[in-house]
Amino acid sequence: MFQRMLASALFAGGVAGLLAALLHFAFVQDLILLGEKYETGELTHFAAPAQDGHDHAPAPTAGADAGAAPDDGHADDGHSHGTGSDLTRNGLTVLFTVLVYVSYAMLLAAGFGLAESMGRRIDLKVGVLWGISGFAAFQLAPAMGLAPELPGSIAADLGDRQVWWWGTALATATALGLLCYGRSLLTAGLAVVLLAAPHVIGAPLPEGYWGQAPTEVGTLYSARTLGTGLAVWAALGGALAWFWTRGKAA
Amino acid sequence: MTTLSSAKVTSALLPVLFMTVLGLSVMFVAGHAQSATLHDAAHDIRHATGFPCH
């Protein structure tokens, strides 16, 4: 059982990770680099060309923004972005994307193993539903409190956010498992409580908002990370089910 | 029948648990551990998957 879970997770996570990296470079990476230009002060967006703010004029291009970088106290916060040349940075992104999706695949494979031991059948359709549920637990629900961070945006204390993130992801995953496989009103009720609790408690928020990156880039960034995440998670669930069912036949 | 399926679930629990811990550990190292080297290497994908990064 363990060998089958591990093999399926490695294959499916590898395939999904490569797809995720492809979509990352197609939709997301440019926005990260743009956000970093605002974060470092290379660009600022408060010096847009004069307009009355209501004429729906075309938005200024990022490159046209001008003005002195605000003294935002951000230059010395000690974090850096990626490492080395573009090739190294992007290569490491591919490597870690595969690693992250292998970790997601391992959790889904554990779920497949548990479901099958309870007599539930895993097929391609069920696998895709598992993938979408994984997306809801590990990306969508945490994003409802902690939106995917564009570099140059402001957030609360890192430790507090990590605690809330883990709590939300695990509570949502448990709740979806109970909803899909539970057989009583009690499990359904418990699932609803687990789904709601993180959002009733609330994610840690910053004391104020003074992010350097434009809201427009941040919202596009959040939408794209969630959109690509949904696509890859669904593919991951399907691929895992494909390897899983072949593992059984073998 | 019930005894049989209970035994099946019990025997599956250990590998399921082990796989869960392994998955969470890999996710922690790739997505959440704050060592400078790991952070820099995984920076872009941590942002893109919505992990709290810095």
Which chain B positions have a beta carbon within 8 Å of A147's beta carbon? 50
Rounded Cα gap, residues A133 and A187, in angstroms:
17
Mean pLDDT, to the nearest integer, of B27-42?
91
Which one-letter amino acid corresponds to residue A67?
G
DSSP track, chain B: -HHHHHHHHHHHHHHHHHHHHHHHHHHHHHHT---HHHHHHHHHHHHHTT----
What sign results for the dihedral spanned by CA atoms B51, A91, A101, A106? negative
Name A1's Cβ contacts closer than 8 Å, sequence gap at least 6.
A113, B12, B15, B16
Report the complex ipTM. Answer: 0.89
* Mean pLDDT value across residues B21-29: 96
**pLDDT above 70 (res B23):** yes
Q: Where are the domains of chain A?
A: 2-43+84-249
The encoded tokens of residue A92 equal 């490491």
Q: Are residues A223 and A197 in contact, defined by beta-carbon separation less than 8 angstroms?
A: no
Asked if the model's pLDDT at residue B45 lies above 90, the reply is: yes
DSSP A53-96: S-S-PPPPPGGG--SPPP--S-TTS----S-SSHHHHHHHHHHH
Nearest CB to A100; choose among B17, B22, B31: B31
Put simply, whether B35 touches A (Cβ < 8 Å) is no
Domain chopping of chain B, boundaries? 14-54
Q: Which of A22, A23, A33, A79 to mutate to test the interface with B (most CBs of B within 10 A)?
A: A79
Token pair 């498992």 in the structure block, residue? A177
The ranges of chain A with pLDDT < 50 are: 57-78
Per-residue pLDDT reduced to its tens digit, A55-68: 554 444 444 444 44
Residue A82, chain B, CB below 8 Å: the answer is yes
Please say whether the beta carbons of A210 and A154 come within 8 A. Answer: yes
**C-alpha–C-alpha distance, residues A121 and A98, integer Å:** 27
Mean pLDDT of chain A: 88
pLDDT at A83: 58
pLDDT at A71: 41
- Tell whether the model's pLDDT for residue B32 goes beyond 80: yes
The whole-number pLDDT of residue A57 equals: 45
